[in-house]
Amino acid sequence: QGHLIESGGGLVQAGASLRLSCAASGLTFRSYCMGWFRQAPGKEREFVATIGWRGATTHYADSVKGRFTIYRDDAKNTVYLQMNNLKPDEAAVYYCAADVGDTYTEYREYEYWGQGTQVPVSS
């Protein structure tokens, strides 16, 4: 049974940077696609970024391209999301997700989910 734990969230000012981490256990991490999603109050969960197994493939939401970077450390069973120049409307709970395969951008395609980490962004 896969288990994901996010960390690194916290209050930041608009324009600041933040790095989120997601530690995985109970699954063969290197074989899994990892994704980051976010959900703001009253809104649907939206795709942010995904990285395929071995880290060879990445995809980003258009709104974060050039500012966010997803990467993984298979030796540590951890995936990261480096977020730069955060905007107030990006305040949300950020979730990581995992599933076997290459890359997925739809949240319904992921089997395992973390509990989320809150990222408030002040203007």
- pLDDT tens, residue by residue, 88-121: 999 999 999 999 988 888 989 999 999 999 999 9
Kindly tell me if the per-residue pLDDT of 69 is higher than 90: yes
Q: What confidence tier does 31 reach under pLDDT thresholds 50, 70, 90?
A: very high
User: What value does the mean pLDDT take over residues 38-47?
Assistant: 96
Q: What angle do CA 30, 114, 33 make, to 5 degrees?
A: 30
Distance of CA 7 to the CA centre of its chain: 10
Contacts of 78 (CB under 8 A, 6+ apart): 21, 22, 23, 24, 72
Position with higher pLDDT, 52 vs 101: 52
Kindly tell me if the per-residue pLDDT of 63 is higher than 90: yes
How many residues does the structure list for the chain? 123
Q: What confidence tier does 54 reach under pLDDT thresholds 50, 70, 90?
A: confident
Closest by CA to 1, choosing from 89, 107, 91, 112, is 112
Position with higher pLDDT, 55 vs 37: 37
